[in-house]
Structure 1
Amino acid sequence: MKDLSCPLVRHTIYALSAFAFAQPVLAQHAGGAHEHGVAELSVATEGATLVIEIVSPLDNLVGFEHAPASAAQRRALATAEAQLRDAPGLFRLPAAAGCALAEVRIEGGWMGGAAAAKEQAARPARAHDHDHDKAHEHGAASADEGGHADVMASYRFDCAQPQALDAIDTQLFAVFPRLREVRAARATAGGQGALVLRPGRTVLPL
């Protein structure tokens, strides 16, 4: 994996320096590309601390991007949030590293609790990008005619043997079958780098 300067990695390093998730990345990504089937993953380590962040269109997780309009859609959101909170089900870490989950935060996509959902519902929807507008012109309407919705999930682990953290096997494609590509970036003791993950190529070397 080649070295690079990645805004997502830089943000994660900032979060690590404070040992908290004080600056959510949703605002950072609001002006970037919103591509269905694609998510962003960032991984950073500092000492015994491992931080993982995922940013994904809500459509990848539940198949729609509007406020839930039925009981079935509310259940879909609740299921997706539970899956996002199940860090061991999403990331297989080396057992020798002895990593214990210390914190999970989920924001956006009408997730993260009632207060977060209410706040998001009050915000004006973001305009569709050019590609989606073009799709609408050809009759390919998306699930949400008003705008896009992104979800950010952050995970902090405390690792007893961080030197054993040599790779992460992501299970995102198995848990969220609508995903077809994860653009991963890492900043660890092994250096900085980026890698595109796909079904069948799920391991991110650290």
Structure 2
Amino acid sequence: MRRLLLALPFALLPLATGAAEHGHAHAEHEHAQDEHGSLNAHEHGAAQLNIVLDGKALELQLESPAMNLVGFEHAANSAADKAKVAAVRNHLQQPLTLFSLSAGECSVSQQTLESPLFAESEQGHDHDHDHDHDHEKNHDSEHSDIQAHYTFNCQKPDDLQQLDLRELFKRFPATAKIQVQLIGPNGQQGLELTAAQPTLRF
């Protein structure tokens, strides 16, 4: 199922060709930024969501600056910061709630959360040497992202008419907009969701 999302950028390539022809030098600059893992220049308040619905398999991949979800991007050193990271992680481990998958009889078959902030919280007290290294790396990059990847098995995919991100915007109010790329039964589409317009149709 992971190969579906890997194919997503290629499937959406025609949407980007016009922009690429705008200026080769500009495209090269953007490519260089992409190689360094930036999320559209790491825009605070903005996130990306890739969605693939293929038969009974639904795959979601959310990528967001940590600032949108946690409220900071530095290493979680204080007890308050660690509590925030733990709370965000707990929210992200409830995808059926965040994405309001109330139809389609969908169940989570796999989920993965990735972020330097999560890695640091997992290290606990065993971090004398590694913490210094990670802390240094964190300062070098300046930015921290959070990635959440979910795979669902939907027994009745035809009943899955829409995705509602109302709860996600509610729990993470610093997220002002989510750029969505969707591949589903009706083809591919790109759209922007906000707290005022939090739903998309498959």
Task: Return 5+ residue gaps in structure 1 as ranges.
Answer: 1-8, 15-26, 128-145
Query: Structure 2 residue aligned with 1:71, among 54, 79, 103?
Result: 79
Aligned residue in 1 for 2:200: 204
Letter in 2 for 1:43: I
SS at match of 1:53: strand
Q: Deviations over 1:24-45 (max 9, x none)?
A: xxx8771442011111011101
Partner of 2:45: 37
Q: What does residue 21 of structure 2 align with? A: none
Tell me the TM-score normalised to structure 1 length.
Answer: 0.72
Partner of 1:121: 134
Counterpart in the other structure of 1:134 = none
2:189 matches 1:193: yes
Pairing partner for 1:159 from 154, 163, 167 = 154
Give the CA deviation at 1:172. 1.6
Secondary structure of 2:117's match?
coil
Task: Indicate if the aligned counterparts of 1:62 and 1:80 stay in contact, CA closer than 8 A.
Answer: yes
Higher helix share: 2
In 1, Cα distance between equivalents of 2:102 and 2:185 = 16
SS at match of 1:67: coil
TM-score by length of 2: 0.73
User: Whose relative contact order is higher, 1 or 2, with alpha carbons under 8 Å and at least 6 apart?
Assistant: 1
> Residue 54 of structure 1 aligns with which residue?
62
- Please tell me whether residue 104 in structure 1 is matched to residue 100 in structure 2: no
Q: Distance in 2 between matches of 1:62 and 1:164?
A: 34
The aligned amino acid for 2:195 is P
Does the CA contact (< 8 Å) of 1:12 and 1:42 recur in 2? no
Deviations 1:149-187 (A, max 9, x none): 000001111011112222100122101011111111101
How far apart are 1:121 and its partner, in Å? 2.4
Q: Segments of 4+ in structure 1 off by > 4 A?
A: 117-120
Shift of 1:67: 0.5
Asked if the contact 1:184–1:196 (Cα under 8 Å) also holds between the matched residues in 2, the reply is yes
